[in-house]
Copies of this chain bind each other. A is one copy, B any other.
Amino acid sequence: MRAEIEDFLVHEADLLDSGRYADWLDLLHEDFLYRVPVPLAREDPTQSPYDDVLEFANESKSFLEMRFRRIASDFAWAERPAAMVRHFVSNFRITPEGGDVEAYAVRTNVMVVRARLPEVPVIATAGRHDRIVRQDGVLLLASRVVHLDAEVPTESQLGVIF
């Protein structure tokens, strides 16, 4: 199971990195939501730096479908040339939810490298809080919350799905 979930997330990253977006969407649960809350420096170290309201991104499956439809268009200027993207996934922490549906809370650390040739590659790192469920025998990504390690990221760092 551990290996299955690790392979699932490595495969999922591979689909994003190779631009196979339709296949990637197939890995998403219908209710999938992708959130990137904004980190803000707080005085009290016990407070989470991740804001409850502010978010860099909030994307549902249907919105992501729009995003990828756009990428296919000849007028997606920011995607011409397409960026090279590579995910490095590590520090898997898998916790079965133990409810009656088979579901797992999976935490990973991810480094994403993005290069818009010929510009130099840009690195962004984050922690991911995923929920993975098994539906009809297959694993699906039910939600992803990204804890970015930057308060003021660059547009290039934000230009990827973590």
| A residues lining the B interface (CB < 8 Å) | 2-3, 10-11, 13-14, 17, 19, 39-43, 45, 49, 71, 79-82, 84, 86-93, 107, 109, 111, 113, 115-118, 120-121, 123, 125-127, 149-152
Determine whether the beta carbon of A87 is less than 8 Å from that of B115: no
Instruction: List the number of copies, as a whole number.
Output: 3
Residues of B within 8 Å of A149, CB to CB, are 84, 86, 113, 115, 121
Q: How far is the CB of A161 from chain B (nearest CB, A)?
A: 16
Task: Jot down 15 A-B pairs with beta carbons below 8 A, ordered by A.
Answer: A10-B91, A14-B93, A14-B107, A39-B84, A41-B81, A43-B81, A45-B80, A45-B82, A49-B82, A88-B91, A88-B125, A113-B149, A115-B151, A118-B151, A123-B123
Q: How far is the CA of A40 from the CA of B79 in the complex (A)?
A: 15
Residue of B nearest to A6 (CB): B92
Determine whether the beta carbon of B86 is less than 8 Å from that of A125: yes
Residues of B within 8 Å of A116, CB to CB, are 41
Determine whether the beta carbon of B113 is less than 8 Å from that of A88: no
Determine whether the beta carbon of A49 is less than 8 Å from that of B84: yes
Residue of B nearest to A114 (CB): B149
Determine whether the beta carbon of B113 is less than 8 Å from that of A43: no
Residues of B within 8 Å of A120, CB to CB, are 150, 152
Report if A88-B86 is in contact (Cβ < 8 Å); known contacts: A117-B40, A121-B125: no
Residues of B within 8 Å of A89, CB to CB, are 90-91
Our pick among B49, B109, B118 for the contact of A86 (Cβ within 8 Å) is: B109
